Amino acid sequence: MRIGMLTSGGDAPGLNAVIRGAVLTGTTVHEHEYVGFRDGWKGLVENDTMTLGRHEVKGISKQGGTILGTSRTNPFEGRGGVDRINEVMNENGLDALIAIGGEGTLAAAKRLTDAGVRIVGVPKTVDNDLDATDYTFGFDTAVGIATEAMDRLRTTGDAHNRCMVAEVMGRHVGWIALHSGMAAGAHAILIPEQRTSMDQLTEWVQSAYNRGRAPLVVVAEGFTLEGDDEPHNDRGLDAFGRPRLGGIGERLAPLIEARTGIETRATTLGHIQRGGTPSAYDRVLATRLGMAAVRAVNGHRWGQMVALRGTDIVFVPFEAALGSLKTVPQERYDEAALLFG
Ligand SMILES: Nc1ncnc2c1ncn2[C@@H]1O[C@H](COP(=O)(O)OP(=O)(O)OP(=O)(O)O)[C@@H](O)[C@H]1O
Ligand SMILES: O=P(O)(O)OC[C@H]1O[C@](O)(CO)[C@@H](O)[C@@H]1O
Ligand SMILES: [Mg+2]
């Protein structure tokens, strides 16, 4: 079999381990051949390919980013569409495609599969917001990076008796904030799922300060302050027309300072959370997902993606990835909030 592969949407640490896991399994166990498409759906529409053999995937598991490149190109726009994609697949003699991406990528993959293109998917999200899989690669790495950053913020905060605000990723869900905040012993964690008032935040910050601690506030970029209609954004729109989030930490810092009189500083971790070496956990998970994608191709599981359930890798339809977000349950937030302040 000849199989095309692409990575699409925002990158996540572990993408290269997925690619390596699939290519090594496919070429050494099943005599598959692989063709890489550059920059997501763009490469498929423009027939921009790269060789993807054993040599190309050598040692890449530990590399961040994706050797294939990625983009937010819509495969149905411009000169794209089902006919064009079938044409490119035929030109390259491809039997199937492995698409690695988030809900947007998988939504596009579903539309293409419904039109007869043979695709299997691998879910990707550093935010950990896909309900169809317990975890995806990248999340553990992002949490590790954010936790280390907060440990550092706490020592400088302690030195100056300041309140430190750390803003982390999480457009719709607060998993990165919850996990890194719990790991770093934050005095308040603010997530998109929970509207929180300035009164409540002030109380937590003041109470930690009164106990002689330098308060640490963790906020997800998608958090909406009580009284606001939507998450803070003053950075325009991304390529897909969505607000570019970020900046809530900078907004909260002066509000905290004004209400408490405690000198406050904000740090936005931003794309540092997505860059660099994936953790060992993410490398293993990503490798297993890549290997399972090959099993999905061999089983002609078109329109299905691989997913983690407990410790098993299972197959689920694309719809399952598109249905609902995996939000932080109320009880998980309440549990963490017991230790706030
Ligand atoms: N419902 C849809 N139907 C067809 N194409 C879609 C749909 N949703 C998204 N896409 C296309 O897929 C591309 C990738 O989606 P998106 O940018 O949301 O990345 P993603 O895979 O969801 O990853 P991320 O986690 O970074 O959002 C989009 O730029 C868009 O062109
Ligand atoms: O800057 P980019 O690449 O558009 O991605 C930013 C978005 O990607 C994510 O990291 C993952 O979806 C979100 O938390 C964030 O809003
Ligand atoms: Mg998306």
d(CA 198, CA 333): 18
Ligand nearest to the CA of 104: 1
Residue that the structure tokens 């506030």 belong to: 217
d(CA 306, CA 296): 8
Q: Which atom of ligand 2 is nearest to the CA of 222?
A: 16
Q: Please state the pTM of the whole predicted model.
A: 0.95
Compute φ and ψ for 92, nearest 5 degrees.
Answer: -95, 5
Residue 104 marked ligand-binding: yes
Question: For position 77, what pLDDT does the model report?
Answer: 94
Compute φ and ψ for 9, nearest 5 degrees.
Answer: 85, -170
User: What SS3 state is found at 32?
Assistant: coil
d(CA 300, CA 298): 5
Ordered by where they begin, the domains of the chain are: 2-137+278-321 (3.40.50.450), 139-275 (3.40.50.460)
Contact indicator for 214, 207 with CB cutoff of 8 Å: no
Contact indicator for 284, 138 with CB cutoff of 8 Å: no
Cα 298 to ligand 3 centre (Å): 28
Residue 309 marked ligand-binding: no
- Is 127 known to be catalytic? yes
Ligand nearest to the CA of 40: 1
The residue nearest atom 4 of ligand 1, judged by CA position, is 108
Q: Which atom of ligand 2 is nearest to the CA of 129?
A: 12
Ligand nearest to the CA of 10: 1
Compute φ and ψ for 225, nearest 5 degrees.
Answer: -70, 140
* Nearest to 288, CA basis, from 270, 318, 309, 265: 309
Q: Of all helices (H) and strands (E), which one includes residue 294?
A: helix 280-298
* Nearest to 140, CA basis, from 324, 314, 308: 308
Cα 132 to ligand 3 centre (Å): 15
Residue 244 marked ligand-binding: no
Question: For position 234, what pLDDT does the model report?
Answer: 83
Q: What is the DSSP letter of 270?
A: G
Contact indicator for 269, 167 with CB cutoff of 8 Å: yes
Question: For position 140, what pLDDT does the model report?
Answer: 98
236: phi > 0 → left, psi -120 to 50 → alpha, else beta; which?
left
The residue nearest atom 18 of ligand 1, judged by CA position, is 104
* Pocket-testing residue among 100, 106, 169, 178, ligand 2, by greatest number of atoms within 8 A of Cβ: 169
Contact indicator for 253, 216 with CB cutoff of 8 Å: no
d(CA 85, CA 111): 12
Cα 195 to ligand 2 centre (Å): 21
271: number of Cβ within 10 Å: 11
R_g over Cα of the chain:
22
Q: What is the DSSP letter of 11?
A: -
* Nearest to 8, CA basis, from 41, 37, 30: 41
Ligand 1 binding pocket, CB closer than 6 Å? 8-10, 72-74, 76, 101-105, 107-108, 111, 125, 240
d(CA 194, CA 17): 34
- For the chain, list residues with pLDDT below 50: none
Residue 73 marked ligand-binding: yes
